[in-house]
């Protein structure tokens, strides 16, 4: 493992080339559930050597938002599934920005528009590590799935609001996630 003081341009370029990443969070309570979520699409951006953000799309759960709102702790992991092996982990403190909150519109401009966007998770990175990834298998990327985009367009803004109110208000541990 190698520790980095910042996300340098080489690491930022490598991150930008990855097709998916994973986000892990946990509640403060030891009885609460740890969450690990795969993410994809054109949804991750390195903003500075110690700052990044990703689009949080509407989903059936809201664990990441609930945990970040409760304690801020978050780690993002990237794995090379093609090319030379490598794993990168970005540890930090996150905050959840929803449409209409300060900073959302400015960050949203850095991403392609997506009808399923429910928030942006903005992360202040405080630990950066890379490791070999020798045991990570090769996978061939065939393309991003478009099911969420189609579903979100079909739901429309009002339908998405209703869905989020029903499915994203609380985490599985009953922590507040989205209003």
The answer to the question of residue 173 being in a domain is: no
Give the model confidence (pLDDT) of 119-141 as tens digits: 999 999 999 999 999 999 999 99
Please, what is the average pLDDT of the chain? Answer: 97
Specify the pLDDT at position 179: 84
Q: How far is CA 92 from CA 15, 144, 157, 163, 178, in A?
A: 16, 27, 31, 30, 21
- CATH number of the domain at 33, please: 2.30.110.10
pTM to 2 decimals? 0.96
Specify the pLDDT at position 34: 97
**What is the tally of structural domains in the chain?**
1
The answer to the question of residue 6 being in a domain is: yes
Specify the pLDDT at position 13: 98
Residue 127 lies in domain: 2-167
178 pLDDT tier (thresholds 50, 70, 90): very high
């Amino acid at each position: 493992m190698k520790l980095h003081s910042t996300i340098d341009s080489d690491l930022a370029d490598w991150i930008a080339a990855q097709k998916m990443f994973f986000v892990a969070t946990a509640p403060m309570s030891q009885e609460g559930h740890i969450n690990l979520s795969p993410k994809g699409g054109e949804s991750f951006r390195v903003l500075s050597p110690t700052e990044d953000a990703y689009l949080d799309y509407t989903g059936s759960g809201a664990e990441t938002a609930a945990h970040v709102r409760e304690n801020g702790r978050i780690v993002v992991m990237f794995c090379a599934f093609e090319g030379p092996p490598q794993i990168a982990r970005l540890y930090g403190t996150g905050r959840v920005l929803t449409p209409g909150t300060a900073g959302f519109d400015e960050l949203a401009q850095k991403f392609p528009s997506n009808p399923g966007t429910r928030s942006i998770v903005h992360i202040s990175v405080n630990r950066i590590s890379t490791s070999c990834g020798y045991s990570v298998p090769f996978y061939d990327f065939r393309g991003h799935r478009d099911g969420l985009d189609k579903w979100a367009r079909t739901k429309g803004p009002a339908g998405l609001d209703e869905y989020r109110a029903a499915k994203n208000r609380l985490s599985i541990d009953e922590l507040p996630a989205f209003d």
